[in-house]
Amino acid sequence: MANHSTEQIRNLALAGHGGSGKTSLLEALLFKAGAIHQLGQVEKHTAVADFTDEEKTHGHSLFNAVVHFDYEGRHVNIIDTPGYPDFMGQALCALPAVETVCVVVSAAAGIEPVTRRMMDWAQRRKLCRMLVINKIDHENADLGKLLKDLQEAFGRQCLPVNLPAGGGQSVVDCFQTASGESDLGPVAAAHTAIVDQVVEVDEKLMEVYLEQGDVKPEQLHEPFEKALREGHLVPICFTAARRHDDHEANVGVRELLDVIVKLAPNPLEGNPRPFYRGGDVANEFYATPDPGAHSMAHVFQVSFDPFVGKLSALRVHQGKITPASQLYVCDAVTGESKKPFKVGHLFKLMGKEHVEVEQAVPGDIVAIAKVEQVHRDAVLHDSHDEDSIHLKPIEFPEPMSGLAITAKRRGDEQKTGDALTKIGEEDPTFKVTRDATTHETVIHGIGELHLRTILEKLKGRYHVEVDTKQPKIAYRETIQTKAEGHHRHKKQTGGAGQFGEVYLRVEPLERGAGFEFSNDIFGGSIPSQYVPAIEKGVRKVMEEGAIAGYLMQDIKVSVYDGKHHPVDSKEVAFVAAGKRAFLDAVSKARPVLLEPCVEIEVTVPNQFMGDITGDLSGKRGRIQGTDMLGGDQSVIQAVVPLSEVANYQNQLKSVTGGQGSFTMALSHYEAVPPNVQEQIVAQYKPRVEED
């Protein structure tokens, strides 16, 4: 049986930019808590959280790793998340499972792109946030400046609960005590600042504070939790998880453990997650963390373990789950509850180790194995009468980098497809598309590094090798003005012929509106049973393209007249007539190609800022802004056509000597310049069909 209650649980995600020392910090926490007896190291492939072959090869986290330990009467679940921008999809998957996001910042590197993104994503999900400044003993660390940079970037609510001392060789508490000195000045000033911030959320305590000049630490617990929930306080801790000389878990680790178990919220204190019934956001409700209520859990992660098969990690939100539990699956896409399954085995995760348990209480994080119908983002419950349930969805970054792939060995196509399906189940930012026009299978990821690890996984884990090439850019086609089209399809082959005549109008819709079809026929010139055939012909052109072979969008089509024949009219005739009439109308409606544009954020040393802004402008980019991040780093935001930055990883490396990084996400589609359109249209060779 579980030997902990919901009140004793603490759930955290360790997040932050790659290289900030998250995995080493986790290793130190496990060691100090007594959960492991030897301190592992990432570079020696002995860290608990970096256990896959791919992670050992790359030397950093690629996937979420869940661990747990008990400390001072509390049960702590921590999810170690990847830190490089290409793997942010994994990091985002952890957010629905935790109450607190602990963002780790390297004292040497300062604020980096993923630092900002994780702080923003956690705030939008209304999660409690903490900042940990790690590597405080680094020779290049300027802790005073970094503290100011954090407060400038994320607000005055970012306040230290402890401070470095002795040149980064120790830390001193400034939350519960008001005496002593630190490397950043008197402890009393920091103590006053954090108490002032906390009492602002409690009017009665504020009155006591104003009257007495101070309050007892035990009086601050509830307002501290409230300040965390409301984003009114972001505690900052200082650590040096590993010393450079002896590699031991060292400065501030035990103090961070104390902050986690004493100040971080339990599942009853954190902000509850909004669920929806029937896919309707108006039917919002919150789970009740009551072990006596019917069971409800959310699957936040799926992986394929070589020994136990499909492994689904889940957060229990309501009721209890045991190996004997019969659970239904509310699919994240269809919302349907399928046949129930028996849990069978229930695990606590410890990196690659699976510890079997007899029960999971509300708030706990556990895993189940070998249940094929369970998918990431599914809601599991034990009530047959329950409506379809969804957790508020996460907005994942759109995968914008692509590679066209083909199996190297003939006959491996099915094996390749199965492997890609499994990888897609694990990774929400990995997609596979099959272009009907080019007959290309294209894998899409966040960046070059993301796709490279996918190819390594195909070869190493699934024993599939593929050839790759750059895919064609996913242009779109649309129209710019209203027009009319007409076509008469007449075919006589000696018996019953084919006849159908169609008149239609087209007009452009707002960008992103899609496609509308309207039947405006009066007087029965075309019988109603043939109208779907006309729409079928139109949709065929929408899929195949009219001028360059790309998908069409943002068009309204209205059929308003035509003719039929009582004997020769049939569905195939009106499919052909609808298709040709639509092509006729498009040709008169100033057709235009649309290209995908991306929002790109480039982080580089200050010395390269002019080079990067000039380079992006030369790629038809529009600079949206620049910011100085501190630590001699700048970030440039721009909107650029995807075709210009499809190979930006290598281009940026060339300009900055490997010192730059970037993230990008789909922004919108816009018309390509006329000269570019002419070149693309000239290369198009449409398939010739008989009328």
pLDDT tens-digit readout, 328-362: 998 655 555 568 899 999 999 999 899 999 999 99
Cα separation, 417 vs 109, in Å, equals 41
User: Is residue 637 situated within a structural domain?
Assistant: yes
pLDDT category of residue 453 using cuts at 50, 70 and 90: very high
Are both 493 and 551 inside the same structural domain? Answer: yes
Specify if 673 maps to a domain: yes
Q: What total of structural domains would you count in the chain?
A: 5
Is residue 531 in some structural domain? yes
Which is more confident, 665 or 287?
287
**Contact present, 149 and 111 (Cβ < 8 Å):** yes
pLDDT tens, position by position, 506-548:
999 998 899 999 999 988 899 999 999 999 999 999 998 999 9
Amino acid at 227: A
Query: Does any domain span residue 179?
Result: yes
Co-location of 416 and 282 in the same domain:
no
- Give pLDDT, residue 279: 59
With cut-offs at 50, 70 and 90, classify the pLDDT of residue 443. Answer: very high
Q: Which of 241, 262, 283 is the last residue of a domain?
A: 262
- Domain that residue 121 falls in: 6-194+232-262
pLDDT in tens, 151-192: 998 999 999 999 999 988 899 999 988 889 999 999 999 999
370, 391, 412 - which closes a domain: 391
Side-chain half-sphere exposure of 553, counting CA atoms within 13 A: 18
79 and 188 share a domain?
yes
Q: Is residue 225 part of a domain?
A: no
Q: Which pLDDT does position 687 carry in this prediction?
A: 64
CATH of the domain at 370: 2.40.30.10
501 and 604 inside one domain: no
Question: What pTM did the predictor assign?
Answer: 0.79
Residues 583 and 513 in one domain: yes
pLDDT tens, 580-626? Answer: 999 999 999 999 999 989 999 898 888 899 999 999 999 999 999 99
Q: Are residues 36 and 174 both part of a single domain?
A: yes
CB 640 within 8 A of CB 670: no
Residue 497 maps to a domain: yes
Domain match, 374 and 411 both = no
Which CATH number do you get for residue 18? 3.40.50.300
Whether 144 and 253 map to the same domain: the answer is yes
Same domain, 585 and 666: no
The CATH code of the domain that includes 446 is 3.30.70.870
Kindly write down the DSSP assignment for every residue of 527-587, as one continuous string: -GGGHHHHHHHHHHHHHH-SSSS--B-SEEEEEEEEE--TTT--HHHHHHHHHHHHHHHHH
Together in a domain, 551 and 418: no
Question: Which structure tokens are listed for 612?
Answer: 């990067």
Note whether residue 199 is domain-resident. no
Domain assignment present for 209: no
